[in-house]
């Protein structure tokens, strides 16, 4: 080794000027050597960062679990498979996101949406198990972006006694007693009036028309809303909110999500102003549901807080009109494409009218309950509409199911469309066939094979109102009018249902 060291010393000595060789008796390093050392350090740092990133990516896609995780990919760290989840699907079929993964991994798979690991279930037995174990193994949960949209204290994020208390409160408005006594007549009148107004126009954009009709009806019951110019801004805020409700969660100006959050902020501002005004008036009588909520706030030891009350009103205003409006719009499109179903509906509803003393009398509860084929049509409409692309829960502990482990804290997305469009459950699932429900028992809650209104403890409290509204609308539509498509009607799912170019129809009174 010694000769090599001497040779190296000789080469170094010949390349450094004498003035730079000795300083305080120490050998100095050349600028070229310093640059080489810096280059090596940078490469080492880059390799370290690259190795750390590889390890992070590996750990992201191979999380630790006390058992076997479902197959699937968690995608890119933090972003996950969010982009694929929100990719538009111009079809009424199951989204490519779910369909491709079911084909590859089976009916239970893992993914990551907006930064959270989620197990997606297209399995009817697992779905039913998840719903039945709420409060034990699972609890209601939605990704943080959804919670920001609906509020931290929205009814979907509350559990146990508080959720049951709010559900009982809401059933004062949507329960069968009030439905029979008040809401049936009001929905029938709203449908008659709206259809008559639309028939006087060259055409109507149906989704917008139905949304306005239902919003005016339900907002009147909830907050005493009057569709005047001064209050129209509230509905516009909800429209802005809805456009970005199920969109990629980037909150910067110009995005649908930003528009959604601005719509929520403005709508909440209106609700807060209404609450402040009503709380300041101790002599105000109970005229709507909001007044009942404020009465609960005035109790000596109220269970409600103002934040919970406001989030409750916001969610009810949204849920009361948007979901039903979408299902009914798609329903009319399906009727337009299936004249045999319209003929069968007319036969049933014309018989109802003939049996009345006054043909123009409003629909009675007995008449509504007699509309058997109409109920089959409604069931088929909501099965194909699949308004809710996923129902979310969270594992409270490690859960063993179907040979897999769902780790504590992971999300579970029950996927109703994957069940409703499963050819092993529904023959020719994309066909609009109301007769498939013939001679089957009436569904009053969620089942393994039908969950358009949810399931378990959180079965939608507005289900009966939605069915009444759809039935009364169909009754007036088929007994009094014919219609044709003017333009639009194309469907897109992102993953929620939408009509990007609207659905314009022309109504013509029946002779």
Q: Which residues are annotated as a binding site?
A: 460
Residue numbers in the known binding site for heme are 460
| Positive/negative CA dihedral, 226, 232, 238, 239 | positive
Give the tokens for residue 39.
């280059």
Contact between residue 316 and residue 225 where contact means Cβ atoms under 8 Å apart: no
Long-range CB pairs of 477-481 (<8 Å, 24+ gap) are 477/191, 477/195, 477/332, 478/342, 478/345, 478/346, 478/349, 479/346, 479/349, 479/350, 479/353, 479/510, 480/195, 480/509, 480/510, 481/195, 481/199, 481/507, 481/508, 481/509, 481/510
Task: Kindly list the distances between the CA atom of residue 422 and the CA atoms of 95, 351, 427, 449, 453, in Å, as whole numbers in the listed order.
Answer: 13, 35, 8, 9, 18
DSSP 323: H
Residues 278-316 as b or e (16 or more Cβ within 10 Å = b):
beeeeeeeeebbbeebbeebeeeeeebebebbbbbbbbb
Q: Please tell me the distance from the alpha carbon of residue 288 to that of residue 136, in angstroms, as a whole number.
A: 36
CB 456 within 8 A of CB 448: no
Which DSSP string corresponds to 96-157?
HHHHHHHHHH-SEEEEEETTEEEEEE--HHHHHHHHHTBTTTEEE---HHHHHHH-TT-GGG
Listed in sequence order, the residues at least 6 apart from 124 whose beta carbon sits closer than 8 Å to its beta carbon are 419, 422, 425, 448, 449
CB 409 within 8 Å of CB 427 = no
């Amino acid at each position: 080794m010694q000769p090599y060291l001497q040779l190296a010393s000789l080469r170094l000595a010949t390349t450094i000027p004498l003035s730079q060789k000795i300083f305080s008796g120490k050998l100095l390093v050349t600028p070229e050597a310093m640059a080489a050392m810096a280059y090596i350090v940078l490469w080492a740092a880059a390799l370290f960062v690259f190795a750390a990133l590889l390890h992070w990516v590996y750990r992201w896609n191979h999380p630790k679990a006390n058992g076997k995780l479902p197959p699937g990919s968690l995608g890119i760290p933090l972003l996950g498979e969010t982009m694929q989840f929100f990719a538009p699907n111009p079809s009424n079929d199951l989204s490519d996101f779910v369909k491709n993964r079911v084909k590859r991994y089976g009916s239970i798979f893992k993914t990551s949406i907006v930064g959270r690991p989620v197990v997606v279930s297209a399995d009817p037995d697992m779905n039913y198990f998840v719903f039945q174990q709420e409060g034990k193994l699972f609890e209601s949960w939605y990704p943080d972006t959804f919670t920001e949209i609906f509020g931290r204290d929205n009814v979907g994020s509350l559990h146990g006694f508080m959720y049951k208390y709010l559900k009982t409160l809401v059933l004062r408005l949507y329960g069968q007693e009030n439905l029979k006594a008040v809401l049936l007549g009001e929905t029938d009148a709203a449908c008659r009036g709206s259809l008559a107004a639309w028939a006087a126009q060259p055409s109507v954009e149906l989704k917008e028309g139905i949304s306005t009709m239902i919003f005016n009806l339900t907002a009147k019951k909830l907050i005493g809303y009057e569709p005047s110019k001064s209050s129209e801004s509230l509905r516009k805020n909800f429209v802005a909110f809805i456009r970005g409700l199920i969109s990629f969660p980037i909150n910067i100006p110009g995005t649908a999500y930003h528009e959604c959050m601005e719509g929520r902020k403005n709508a909440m501002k209106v609700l807060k102003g209404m609450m402040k005004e009503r709380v300041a008036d101790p002599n105000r009588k109970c005229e709507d549901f909001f007044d009942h909520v404020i009465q609960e706030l005035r109790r000596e030891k109220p269970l409600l807080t103002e934040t919970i009350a406001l989030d409750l009103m916001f969610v009810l205003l949204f849920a009361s009109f948007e979901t039903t409006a979408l299902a009914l719009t798609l329903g009319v499109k399906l009727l337009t494409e299936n004249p045999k179903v319209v003929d069968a509906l007319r036969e049933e509803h014309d018989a109802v009218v003939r049996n009345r003393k006054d043909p123009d009398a409003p629909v009675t509860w007995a008449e509504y309950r007699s509309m058997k084929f109409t109920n089959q049509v409604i069931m088929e409409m909501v099965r194909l509409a699949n308004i809710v692309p996923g129902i979310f829960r969270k594992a409270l502990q490690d859960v063993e199911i179907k040979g897999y482990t769902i780790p504590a804290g992971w999300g579970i997305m029950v996927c109703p469309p994957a069940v409703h469009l499963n050819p092993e459950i529904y023959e020719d699932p994309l066909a609009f066939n109301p007769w498939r429900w013939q001679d089957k028992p009436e569904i009053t809650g969620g089942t393994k094979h039908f969950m358009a209104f949810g399931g378990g403890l959180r079965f939608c409290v507005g289900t009966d109102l939605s069915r009444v509204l759809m039935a009364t609308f169909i009754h007036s539509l088929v007994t009094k009018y014919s219609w044709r498509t003017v333009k639009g009607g194309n469907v897109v799912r992102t993953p929620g249902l939408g009509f990007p170019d609207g659905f314009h129809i022309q109504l013509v009174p029946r002779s």
